[in-house]
Amino acid sequence: MDAFRRQASKLREQAVIKQFSGTGYESSGVVVIDEIEMQRHQQLDKLYKSTRSARDFQKEVIKAAEAFTAIGYKHIETGTKFSEECCRYGTENSENINENILAKAAAIYGDGCKHVEKEQEDLIKLLSQQVLDPLRAMSAGAPLEDARHLAQRYSRMRQEAEALAADISRRQARIREAPIPENVAKLHAAEAKMQELKANMAVLGKEASAALAAVEAQQQRLTLQRLVAMVEGEKTYHLRVAAILNEIEAEMVSEKQRKESAPPVIVPENGSEKTMYYLAEATYPFSASSEKELSLSIGDFVVVRK
């Protein structure tokens, strides 16, 4: 009998320690009241872990979006500086830019970089408005904290019921040993308290389950939406940047081919005279009025003697 008392006292002390030291929802496989309560406890345990896991994942998405944003600002800073350098080189060497293919290419690339950085700015704005702001608000929002507090209250109440059940078992053993009125009265008081606790747990358990289930559904829906928005935004960014770079490349290659296909400048020497020839592109159409003239269309190239 003494061993039974010591065990009951130990269980009671453990329950009290868990009650005041626990900060979350305490999992337990002990049937405190009945199977219905046990199912409620298991449901709350599952919901509590699910919402905590979803909140932790939301924080990881937030960290990733913040990192992408920081990288984006650095990309804009570097890209803008390089764009300015390209445009500066193109401007400083613009006197004969049709002949200086490098200056022409630098000017083309510098102008295109401005459009790339604009797309980067749009991506940062999307990450901020459609990913970071909604997830930050939800991960630290009142509905989640309120639901978790309800579950924690239920957990503490259940621990109290577990300790009370151990106390009732101990008092029942004491009555079997010494069925005096004082022991019987204390047992009845403990049993009455257990009934009251059971009723309160039933109400609080339903409330906590409903609150956590609502939060879980919202977490799943909202986090998925934000994740899809991030993927779609990044996809749009890369497609638009690829289109801009394709256009830049096409212009640069076209200029390179034009330069390579142009006939060399001929500098014949006739005594002290030097005659210069260069390649020119027709910007206006011209219809020849005699056999000595040449008809030209826009875009035709001709060798001109200077």
Whether residues 222 and 284 fall in one domain: no
Instruction: Tell me, letter by letter, the H, E, C secondary structure of 100-114.
Output: CHHHHHHHHHHHHHH
Tokens of 89: 């080189």
Whether residues 285 and 229 fall in one domain: no
In whole angstroms, what is the distance from residue 180 CA to residue 182 CA? 6
Q: Please, what is the Cα angle at 21 between 17 and 23, to 5 degrees?
A: 140
Number of independent structural domains in the chain: 2
Whether residues 255 and 281 fall in one domain: no
Residue 252's domain is classified under what CATH number? 1.20.1270.60
Q: Quick one: pLDDT band at residue 271, thresholds 50, 70, 90?
A: very low
CA distances from 222 to 137, 141, 145, 158, 218 (A): 11, 13, 17, 32, 6
DSSP 296: B
Whether residues 239 and 285 fall in one domain: no
Position 26 scores a pLDDT of: 57
Please give the residue range of the domain that contains residue 223: 2-261
Whether residues 251 and 275 fall in one domain: no
Averaged confidence pLDDT in the chain? 82
DSSP 50: H
Q: Which residue has the tokens 């909202």?
A: 222
Q: What is the pLDDT of residues 133-160, one digit of tens each?
A: 999 999 888 888 899 999 999 888 888 8
Q: What is the pLDDT of residues 161-174, one digit of tens each?
A: 888 888 888 888 88
Position 269 scores a pLDDT of: 54
Q: Which residue has the tokens 């990450």?
A: 127
Whether residues 219 and 117 fall in one domain: yes
Structural element, H or E, at residue 277: strand 277-281
Whether residues 274 and 298 fall in one domain: yes
Lowest mean pLDDT among 10-24, 58-72, 83-97, 285-299: 10-24
Q: Please, what is the Cα angle at 111 between 110 and 117, to 5 degrees?
A: 85
The residue that leads in pLDDT, 17 or 145, is 145
Residue 49: is its pLDDT beyond 70?
yes
Whether residues 122 and 28 fall in one domain: yes
pTM: 0.67
Q: Quick one: pLDDT band at residue 96, thresholds 50, 70, 90?
A: low
